[in-house]
Chain A
């Protein structure tokens, strides 16, 4: 079974802090994704990566950056946390296929509920 592990289930940080959210997958998937989930807005894609050291902006990348130094690990960085970044953050991974990097089902971690005070 695919396992996507997020480093923290709950996290509380202060405005202006630099925040790191870590995600590790154990199935050798090429693709990894970071989302935030807010009530009524569903899942919004922040960044994704389809290979080591590769990254692509999603729909809401402002205020965030990512790092993928190893295939199994994808980090989300809040450069200077703000209160409007309080949210549930979900990491996901999927294998690539020949047609598209995103066609395969995504496997999600349990999420990190981040509160910025």
Chain B
């Protein structure tokens, strides 16, 4: 079946440093969604990207969809301790979708 890979699996950063997680698919996506799961919590929807090359920003978070619609990235500028959690992408292929394994972010104060 379809697979979505995410790298890195884990990332430890010092507070104030930037962070990026990448989501890659072997086939073209119709759209991609990003979710955040805080420790002990449940995944919460962040954003959806639909168009090739699309870039969306939410405060310190920047989301990008690749030109070929096969990859996406989430970049956090100047991380804060509140950014701690696991970030998942969910790639959609027409009627089907699959979640990536997630990137767990730790932020050291």
For chains A and B in complex, what number of residue pairs have CB atoms within 8 angstroms? 49
Answer whether residue B102 sits at the interface, using C-beta atoms and an 8 A cutoff.
yes
Tell me the complex Cα distance, A56–B78, Å.
42
B101 and A40 form a contact (CB under 8 A): yes
Within 8 A of B (CB), among A30-53: 35, 40-45
* Complex partner residue of B45 from A59, A100, A105, A109, CB under 8 angstroms: A105
Interface of chain A, main secondary structure: loop
Interface of chain B, main secondary structure: strand
B101 and A42 form a contact (CB under 8 A): yes
Count, chain B residues at interface, CB 8 A: 24
Answer whether residue B68 sits at the interface, using C-beta atoms and an 8 A cutoff.
no
* Complex partner residue of B48 from A41, A105, A107, A109, CB under 8 angstroms: A105
Per-residue A-contact encoding for B40-56, CB less than 8 Å = 1, 0 else = 01111100100000000
Answer whether residue B81 sits at the interface, using C-beta atoms and an 8 A cutoff.
no
Q: A15: which B residues are within 8 A, CB to CB?
A: none
Tell me the complex Cα distance, A2–B97, Å.
22
CB A93 to nearest CB in B, in angstroms, measures 12
